[in-house]
């Protein structure tokens, strides 16, 4: 697909200090849009970043037909002018899985990846140079048909926005404190937990706000049936290291199919670690903490990459993980993942796609 390009009259100033980049605040000069009309994707264009114009009756505003992805672009350490995406085919595939679950049209993988490359080429000056920084990419689809009454929209807008980012957590790559939620749930079997749709995140806001007020960075979600099995942490997949083996929740409809999750599993297995994709209960984790078998814990996701966990709070009791320090395996996986993404380590997997 060809994209018509319209540039802004004046470019925005870049963030003055990359060491102070926060997450999701510094948006670039352009955005990309494609319309879905009469059963076809059409009118691809790159325009100045700015507000969307929607009918107050647009179906997305009333019935939540909306999906998105999270991706990153990196400068390569040995050639700062060389730019790469990390496994964009996986994001394209997940975007379409989310679309199918939310009764929305899919978009060809080639169009999805090329749309992202096209807008990044226009805003490549926004990709920061400093270690620990990147360009965050947010492909999104919303239902735009002007109508009321619950039904799938006949019209959609796909758009891509970009922002320069630093660490997702203010504490950076340091252990975070996690609140184990045993009342509210993120997703239930048969629901939309596997889709990357806004409603899942809206449901998480109240318990997360409560956890934040108690000094905890994220919520560790348990299953909806009996609040016993561990699922995700915040917007990331959760891993535990118990007796030198990794454990993470299986993909059975309530857990997001994380691209970072899949990459971490591959890296860990290739380093000789056993990875168990099976249900593990919070009781088992607490018992492992008491006996010393729980060695490490970390979250894995695009926004935060790998986020070590130093404390779990469950039912009024705090459980310290690895003396509140980054664990050996967590550190090893983090360095391997970031190393591949930034070109510090040879990408023998073919995960990086040059822009």
Q: Is the pLDDT of residue 316 over 90?
A: yes
Q: Is the pLDDT of residue 301 over 80?
A: yes
Long-range contacts of 321-324, Cβ-Cβ distance < 8 Å, separation of 24 or more: 321/175, 321/289, 321/294, 321/296, 321/297, 322/175, 322/295, 322/296, 322/297, 324/175
Radius of gyration of the CA atoms of the chain, in A: 21
Predicted local distance difference test score (pLDDT) of residue 171: 73
- Domain annotation for the chain: domains and CATH numbers: 4-166 (3.30.470.10), 176-342 (3.20.10.10)
Predicted local distance difference test score (pLDDT) of residue 116: 98
Question: pLDDT by residue (tens digit) across 85-125?
Answer: 999 999 999 999 999 999 999 999 999 999 999 999 999 99
Q: Is the pLDDT of residue 169 over 90?
A: no
Question: pLDDT by residue (tens digit) across 55-94?
Answer: 999 999 999 999 999 999 999 999 989 999 999 999 999 9
Give CA torsion, residues 81, 168, 110, 153, to 10 deg. -140
User: What's the mean pLDDT when you consider all of the chain?
Assistant: 96
Give the Cα separation of 47 and 124 in Å (integer): 15
Planar angle of CA 77, 235, 122, nearest 5 degrees: 45
Phi, psi dihedral angles at 136 (to 5 degrees): -90, 140
Q: Is the pLDDT of residue 235 over 90?
A: no
DSSP conformation class of 217: S
Cβ atoms within 10 Å of 44's Cβ, excluding its own: 18
Asked if 246 and 239 count as a contact pair (C-beta separation under 8 A), the reply is yes
Asked if 232 and 255 count as a contact pair (C-beta separation under 8 A), the reply is yes
Extended beta strands in 250-328, E state? 275-277, 294-301, 305-314, 317-320
Asked if 176 and 218 count as a contact pair (C-beta separation under 8 A), the reply is yes
């Amino acid at each position: 697909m060809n994209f018509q390009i319209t540039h802004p009259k004046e470019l925005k100033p870049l963030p003055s200090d990359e060491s102070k980049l926060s997450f999701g605040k510094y948006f670039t000069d352009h955005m990309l849009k494609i319309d879905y009309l009469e059963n076809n994707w059409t009118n691809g264009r790159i325009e100045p970043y700015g507000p969307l114009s929607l009918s107050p009756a647009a179906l997305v505003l009333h019935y939540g037909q909306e999906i998105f992805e999270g991706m990153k672009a990196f400068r390569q350490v040995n050639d700062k002018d060389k730019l790469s995406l990390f496994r964009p085919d996986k994001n394209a595939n997940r975007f379409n899985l989310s679309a199918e679950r939310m009764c929305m049209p899919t978009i060809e993988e080639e169009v999805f990846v090329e749309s992202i490359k096209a807008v990044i080429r226009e805003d490549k000056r926004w990709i920061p140079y400093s270690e620990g920084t990147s360009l965050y990419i947010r492909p999104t689809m919303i239902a735009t048909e002007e109508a009321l009454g619950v039904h799938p929209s006949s019209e959609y807008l796909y758009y891509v926005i970009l922002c320069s980012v630093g660490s997702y957590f203010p504490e950076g790559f340091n252990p975070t404190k996690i609140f184990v939620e045993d009342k509210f749930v993120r997703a239930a079997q048969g629901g939309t937990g596997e889709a990357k749709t806004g409603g899942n995140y809206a449901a998480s806001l109240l318990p997360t706000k409560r956890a934040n007020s108690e000094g905890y960075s994220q919520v560790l979600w348990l299953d909806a049936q009996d609040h016993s099995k561990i699922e995700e942490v915040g917007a990331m997949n959760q891993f535990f290291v118990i007796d030198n083996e990794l454990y993470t929740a299986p993909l059975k409809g309530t857990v997001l199919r994380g691209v970072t999750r899949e990459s971490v599993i591959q890296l860990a297995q290739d380093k000789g670690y056993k990875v168990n994709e099976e249900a593990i209960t919070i009781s088992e984790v607490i018992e492992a903490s008491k006996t010393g078998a729980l060695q490490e814990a970390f979250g894995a996701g695009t926004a935060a990459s790998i986020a070590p966990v130093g404390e779990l709070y469950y039912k009024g009791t705090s459980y310290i993980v690895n003396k509140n320090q980054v664990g050996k395996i967590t550190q090893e996986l983090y360095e391997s993942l970031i190393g591949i993404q930034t070109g510090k380590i040879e990408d023998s997997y073919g995960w990086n796609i040059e822009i």
